[in-house]
Chains A and B, each alone.
Chain A
Amino acid sequence: MRHIAVFMFVVVALAASFSLAAQAEEAQVTIALPADLDALDPHLTTNSMSWMMLANMFDTLVQLGPDGTYEPMLATSWSRVDDVTWRFQLREGVRFHNGEPFTARSVRYSFERLKDPELMSPAVATYRGSIEEIRVVDDYTVDVVTEQPYAPLLSLLGVLWIVPQDYIEEVGMREFARHPVGTGPYRFVEWRRGHQLVLEANPDYWAGEPEVKRVVFRPIPDASTRMAALLAGEVDIITVVPLDRLPELERNPNVYITSRPGELIYLGVNTFKEGLSDLRVRQALSHAIDVDAIIEALLMGRAVRANGPFFRTTPGYRADLPPYEYNPDKARQLLREAGVTNLRIELDVSPLQGVQKPQEVGEAIAGFLQDVGVQVQVNVLEPGAAIDKYGAREMDMYLFPWGSFPESGRHLQVLLHSEARGYYYKSEEADRLIDAYMAAVDPEERERIGRELHTFLYEDLPFIYMYEQEELYGVRSRIQWDPGVDFVIRAANIKLVQP
């Protein structure tokens, strides 16, 4: 036995004495995410985790600026020709990583490729009812024509990744997906699935060569391991920081926490179900849940109370609407008025990408509702099962997140319009307002209709409104980085701090 102990010790010591080879170079930054990307071809995924990384290789016409409005990227300026036509001037002298020039053709191709049935792009759905065609006016001018007046066009163009036509036509779809080429600040080096994605700075980038020369993205699914890797200095940025361990990071002088506005968490209600169809019952539920307590106790204060299905950056957001106050007496009274006594509901929660502590929050909600006499059974479903059940219209109440494009207001249409996902809610007034909202290409008019829509949904309660989470990042102090408002991690914005 002694021999074995000695042997084991030697093995460990040997392994340790091989100096830790992977000591990060100065100009390399390693970023740990909970999952790997789906594909290197940005047109083959709609997963924001994938786009988060791919955005370093591929550019779009416009990009979201720090104030939540769209700024020039590959397009330098744009204007509205008529209600359905927008004209974009393109940046000249930009080249793809393989040298192919970026022109109006690239833009048209990047859109038409998405619709190619052979590609079977899952992003097709994203464009339905929006862009009809992209016309080449001259080498550096395109007209984007929408099927109908479409207000959130820019946020759609913000994820229309521009790809090189000649290269793809030459090497084919599969080869492009293995060796992708874009116009972005980083070039592709290597991707080993489940292990790492390596990018290197593009010295010819139109906005200047990035300061960080090499970027490595590593999928580390376990939150504790991700934190350990950050604390050990193996990675420089981690996303989805486990809330319970925030104090530990805050105490550590080598790392800091930074954040951006994150997912909007809502409690969906099946308004077709007996009992829940009564507005007074939904009001009662809204008054019964102490959302502030949930934010303080479970989310460590890292969330902002929501007063509707609007993000703070969604056009038409009404900051002046007070969230439903926590008032269990009022809730009980409303339930009595509605004549609902023995209400039993199932609440489905799931660790969907982006939701912090779904089960704990679900249990807390159940506790508050039981307090006013509503019997709640909490089901914890794995994500696939939750999405299936949701689509099958079998849910009573569900705790779901929405994260993408808060500035577009598109989630209002997708979630609440009866012709989109009318799974659990239908209102002619909401449909009318949403249609007008999505068609309001004039920003002022959009703001006005948005306010009206927010007011209506605030009162009609298709959801019980919960909170807007903060998206937390842990960062090593040797780099300086601000996540901005976008979901994308732009490595080109990372600065190295001189020691």
Chain B
Amino acid sequence: MVSYVYRRALQSIVVLLGISAVVFVVTLLTGDPVRALLGEAATEADIQAYRAQLHLDKPLPIQYVMFLTRAVRLDFGDSLRYREPALDLVLERLPATLSLGGAALFVLLLFALPAGLLSAMKHGTLWDSLIQSVVLFMQSVPVFLSGVLLILLLGVHWQVLPTSGYGTLQHLVMPAATLGMYSAVRVARMLRASMLEVLDQHYVRTARAKGLPERAVSLKHALRNALIPVITLVGMETGMLLGASVVTETVFAWPGIGQLLVNAIYSRDFPLVQGAVLLIAFMFLIINLAVDLVYAVIDPRIRYG
């Protein structure tokens, strides 16, 4: 197990290096930060001079080497816009991102597990259709709409929650619900499908045949096996909750990494883009590793040497 984790950690470094190379090239190819930075009054000469100061006039391979030598020391340079070390700016957003992602994951599990299970166990009944309709409805409503509707209802009309912003637990409720529910519907569907498939298998029939109550059959025998693909999906969704929640963050003015990254992309602030993307990639790697380890816990057939 330990040697497995060790091997995976080494692999992760290679993956991060690969991602950094891609990010570097893509950010530099997308455009030039200087024109936007210097404001309306800048002339062509000013722009060229400023480019030279940032070494943007050097050939791409040389810039890449300069980037790599700094990046291995976790130095991505200063953000062009904020003039602070890029990594600090990204890490500063980590608490907001983690709290939103964590709360959204909580909402996700809170809804998806019971909904998926119930739907599968009561397959073909009114319960099933009801849950499936709710799931379908929520999957069809984009976050920017459901978020705004929530704000209008709970924030403006009833005034029970703050409309937006960051700081207290109350601020967290609406964005976490919006974000969590959107991902939850996918997980609920996956769990239902996976359960239905497992419930059809021979060993389940055997369990039923030997007279176990249906509850024990579903929860003890079937669920464990049905969970494997669901955990994979939950892992991926968690990655999305942490790294790709930009719409939710924007709607609720939540100061997470997603907003920071998108603004950085708009202003071509490439040190910041590189730092943010690498941190998100890092989080994905951690989650993937965690998912793989959870497999072994749930399914004793899976062993890592």
Residues of A within 8 A of B (CB): 1, 4, 7-8, 11-12, 15-16, 18, 20-22, 35, 38-39, 41, 44, 46-47, 117, 120, 122-126, 128, 174, 177, 192-196, 218-222, 224-225, 228-229, 231-232, 234, 382-385, 387-388, 390-391, 402-404, 410-411, 414, 419-421
Task: Determine how close the nearest CB of chain A comes to the CB of B98; give it in whole angstroms.
Answer: 15
CB atoms of A388 and B260 under 8 A apart: no
CB atoms of A193 and B92 under 8 A apart: yes
B255 contact from A20, A125, A195, A419, Cβ within 8 A: A195
A38→B144 CA distance, assembly (Å)? 26
CB atoms of A228 and B36 under 8 A apart: no
Could you list some 28 contacts between A and B, CB below 8 A?
A: A1-B114, A1-B115, A1-B131, A7-B110, A8-B110, A12-B154, A22-B165, A38-B83, A46-B38, A124-B50, A125-B47, A126-B39, A128-B43, A194-B96, A194-B260, A195-B255, A222-B148, A222-B250, A222-B251, A225-B148, A225-B163, A228-B152, A228-B155, A229-B163, A234-B164, A234-B165, A383-B266, A384-B30
CB-CB nearest in chain A for B265: A384
Task: Determine how close the nearest CB of chain A comes to the CB of B287; give it in whole angstroms.
Answer: 24
A128→B43 CA distance, assembly (Å)? 9
CB atoms of B41 and A391 under 8 A apart: no
B46 contact from A125, A195, A411, Cβ within 8 A: A125
List residues of chain B with CB within 8 A of the CB of A221.
250, 253, 259
List residues of chain A with CB within 8 A of the CB of B163.
225, 228-229, 232, 234
A8→B115 CA distance, assembly (Å)? 14
Is B200 an interface residue when CB atoms closer than 8 A count as contact?
A: no
List residues of chain A with CB within 8 A of the CB of B162.
20, 22, 232, 234
CB-CB nearest in chain A for B131: A1
CB-CB nearest in chain B for A18: B170
CB atoms of B40 and A411 under 8 A apart: yes
B interface: dominant SS? helix
Contacts A20-B160, A383-B266 supplied; 13 other A-B pairs, CB < 8 Å: A1-B127, A12-B154, A35-B263, A39-B83, A123-B39, A125-B42, A128-B46, A221-B253, A222-B148, A231-B156, A384-B31, A384-B265, A414-B43
Task: Determine how close the nearest CB of chain A comes to the CB of B199; give it in whole angstroms.
Answer: 19
Is B189 an interface residue when CB atoms closer than 8 A count as contact?
A: no
Per-residue 0/1 for B124-136: is the Cβ within 8 Å of any A Cβ (1 yes, 0 no)? 0001000100000
Q: Given known contacts A39-B83, A46-B38, A218-B165, is B253 in contact with A122 (CB within 8 Å)?
A: no
A68→B135 CA distance, assembly (Å)? 58
Is B118 an interface residue when CB atoms closer than 8 A count as contact?
A: yes
B160 contact from A16, A174, A228, A402, Cβ within 8 A: A16
CB atoms of A122 and B148 under 8 A apart: no
How many of chain B's residues have a CB under 8 angstroms from any CB in A?
66
A420 contact from B43, B118, B154, B255, Cβ within 8 A: B43
A220→B148 CA distance, assembly (Å)? 13
Task: Determine how close the nearest CB of chain A comes to the CB of B174; give it in whole angstroms.
Answer: 9
A222→B89 CA distance, assembly (Å)? 22
List residues of chain A with CB within 8 A of the CB of B268.
384
Per the 8 Å Cβ criterion, residues 103-123 of B in contact with A are 110-111, 114-115, 118
CB atoms of A195 and B167 under 8 A apart: yes
Indicate the member of B42, B81, B156, B251 with the most A CB atoms within 10 Å: B42
List 8 tightest A-B contacts by C-beta distance, closest first.
A194-B255, A46-B39, A16-B160, A125-B46, A125-B42, A220-B253, A228-B163, A388-B31
List residues of chain B with CB within 8 A of the CB of A194.
93, 96, 166, 255-256, 259-260
List residues of chain A with CB within 8 A of the CB of B81.
38-39
A7→B114 CA distance, assembly (Å)? 13
CB atoms of B30 and A195 under 8 A apart: no
Task: Determine how close the nearest CB of chain A comes to the CB of B34; give it in whole angstroms.
Answer: 9
CB-CB nearest in chain A for B259: A194
Is B267 an interface residue when CB atoms closer than 8 A count as contact?
A: yes
A451→B265 CA distance, assembly (Å)? 42
List residues of chain A with CB within 8 A of the CB of B151.
224-225, 228
Residues of B within 8 A of A (CB): 30-32, 35-47, 50, 53, 81-84, 89, 92-93, 96, 110-111, 114-115, 118, 127, 131, 144, 148, 151-152, 154-156, 159-170, 173, 250-253, 255-256, 259-260, 263, 265-268
Q: Given known contacts A18-B169, A221-B250, is B89 in contact with A124 (CB within 8 Å)?
A: no
Q: Given known contacts A15-B160, A391-B47, A420-B43, is B155 in contact with A232 (CB within 8 Å)?
A: yes
Task: Determine how close the nearest CB of chain A comes to the CB of B25; give it in whole angstroms.
Answer: 17
A4→B159 CA distance, assembly (Å)? 24
CB atoms of A20 and B159 under 8 A apart: yes
CB atoms of A22 and B148 under 8 A apart: no
A47→B269 CA distance, assembly (Å)? 15
List residues of chain B with CB within 8 A of the CB of A390.
35
CB-CB nearest in chain B for A30: B165
CB-CB nearest in chain B for A46: B39
List residues of chain B with CB within 8 A of the CB of A47.
39
Task: Determine how close the nearest CB of chain B comes to the CB of A481; give it in whole angstroms.
Answer: 21
A420→B53 CA distance, assembly (Å)? 20
CB-CB nearest in chain B for A3: B114
CB atoms of A387 and B159 under 8 A apart: no
CB atoms of A385 and B114 under 8 A apart: no
CB atoms of B111 and A4 under 8 A apart: yes
A27→B115 CA distance, assembly (Å)? 48
List residues of chain A with CB within 8 A of the CB of B83.
38-39, 41, 44, 177
A46→B148 CA distance, assembly (Å)? 32
A177→B81 CA distance, assembly (Å)? 13
A384→B127 CA distance, assembly (Å)? 50
List residues of chain B with CB within 8 A of the CB of A414.
40-41, 43
Indicate the member of A39, A123, A228 with the most B CB atoms within 10 Å: A228
Task: Determine how close the nearest CB of chain A comes to the CB of B246; give it in whole angstroms.
Answer: 10
CB atoms of B168 and A125 under 8 A apart: no
A38→B38 CA distance, assembly (Å)? 13
CB atoms of A384 and B266 under 8 A apart: yes
Task: Determine how close the nearest CB of chain B comes to the CB of A453; give it in whole angstroms.
Answer: 18
Task: Determine how close the nearest CB of chain A comes to the CB of B119; give it in whole angstroms.
Answer: 10
List residues of chain A with CB within 8 A of the CB of B30.
384
List residues of chain B with CB within 8 A of the CB of A388.
31-32, 35
List residues of chain A with CB within 8 A of the CB of B154.
12
Task: Determine how close the nearest CB of chain B comes to the CB of A401; give it in whole angstroms.
Answer: 10
Q: Given known contacts A16-B160, A224-B148, A414-B41, is B169 in contact with A4 (CB within 8 Å)?
A: no
CB-CB nearest in chain A for B251: A222
CB-CB nearest in chain A for B150: A228
CB-CB nearest in chain A for B160: A16
B53 contact from A39, A120, A126, Cβ within 8 A: A120
CB atoms of A4 and B110 under 8 A apart: yes
A35→B255 CA distance, assembly (Å)? 11
CB-CB nearest in chain B for A173: B83
Task: Determine how close the nearest CB of chain A comes to the CB of B97; give it in whole angstroms.
Answer: 11
List residues of chain A with CB within 8 A of the CB of B45.
128
List residues of chain B with CB within 8 A of the CB of A220.
164-165, 253
